[in-house]
Amino acid sequence: MTDQLTAVVVDDEKLARQYMLEMLAAFPDIRVVAECADGFAAVKAVNEHRPQLLFLDIQMPRLDGFEVLELVETDNLCVVFVTAFDQYAVRAFDSHAVDYLLKPFSKERLGAAIEKVKRHAGSGLPAIHELRKVVRKDAEYLTRVVVKDGPTIQVIPCADIVCITAEDDYVNIRSTEGSVLKHQSLAGLEESLDPDKFVRIHRCSMVNIERLDRIELLARDKYVAVLQDGTELRISRSGHQRLKELLG
């Protein structure tokens, strides 16, 4: 069959995967190429099999569903979230080009999701951090940042981050463990970090306030931030204003 869609099923609960597979058996145009029990396995499977369709649980060990999406090539990927979250939290999904299934779901509902996916196939994903904000009301800001560094996936707790600088299309995240590049804009990352901890000190850099050692005056109105690991970063005028506000 030419119009068969390949799919990957991701859920940490075995019974939930089993249920999904059983339901999908009724749809011959869906071919499941892999099932995964955690976020790492999901990233690996998606990058390896390049499926067109991903059934993704949100709460999972190691990496959650959103983090998985940050780490995989999403250009030709359609994502259907499968969650037990209540309707209010998930309503905002409606406005985006993905679908969601509430556990437990019926075969008809799954069919509708597949139809929707087929119509939207190839139209890309909405901003992941927008979705995250809707679902994760209790944890508005990231507590960790995930980065794919070649074949390995790094999980960096936000508290360990020293500073973040923009480098072309990437951000350079410097943590206590070293530096790593992530394909993201500084502004995008800034939005999902706690503004009480991370402050944008310049157009192309932000620092973890906990890791700031001192602020030095170079010349009139020219300041430099010295971090605990010795790094020196220029502070812009508006950056200095923000720092002053945050430090009180």
Partner 1 sequence: MARNFHTSANIAYYLAWLPLTGLVDVLLILQGIGVVPALIVGFSFSLPMAVVGGSARYMCRVLPLRRDRLLQVLPPLGGVTFLISGTWTGLFVIISRALAWLPPGDLMDIAGFLFLVSALSIDFSLVFHYLMIAMEEAQEARQRAEEAKVLSREAELRALRAQLNPHFLFNSLNSVAALTATDPAAAREMVLRMSSFFRSTLAAGRQEVFTLGEELALLRNYLDIEQVRFGERLVVREEVDASLHSLKWPPLLLQPLVENAVKHGVSPSADPVTVDIRALRDGEAAVIRVCNGRDPEARSTGGTGIGLSSSRERLSRFFGDAATMTVEAEDRMFCVTIRIDMEKLK
Structural tokens at position 16: 């939930």
Interface of this chain with partner 1, residues 196 to 235, rule: CB under 8 A: none
Task: Name the strands in the sheet holding 212-219, side by side, starting at the edge strand that comes first in the sequence.
Answer: 212-219, 222-227, 232-235
62 near partner 1, rule: CB under 8 A:
yes
From residue 153 to residue 182, what is the string marking binding to partner 1 with x (rule CB under 8 A)? --x-xx------------------------
For partner 1, the binding residue among 50, 144, 197, 242 (CB under 8 A) is: 144
Q: What is the nearest approach in angstroms of partner 1 to the Cβ of residue 204?
A: 27
* 143 lies in the binding site for partner 1 (CB under 8 A): yes
| CA 90 to chain CA mean position, Å | 17
User: Quick check: 27 binds partner 1 (CB under 8 A)?
Assistant: no
Interface residue with partner 1 among 26, 84, 217, 247 (CB under 8 A) is 84
H or E stretch covering 217? strand 212-219
Q: Do residues 56 and 15 lie in contact, with contact meaning Cβ atoms separated by under 8 Å?
A: no
Task: Give the containing element (helix H, strand E) for 172.
Answer: strand 170-175
Q: At how many degrees (to 10) do helices 14-24 and 107-120 cross?
A: 70
> Quick check: 139 binds partner 1 (CB under 8 A)?
yes
CB 163 within 8 A of CB 208: yes
Using CB under 8 A, list all residues that contact partner 1. Answer: 12-16, 18-19, 22, 37-38, 59-62, 84-86, 102-104, 138-139, 143-144, 155, 157-158
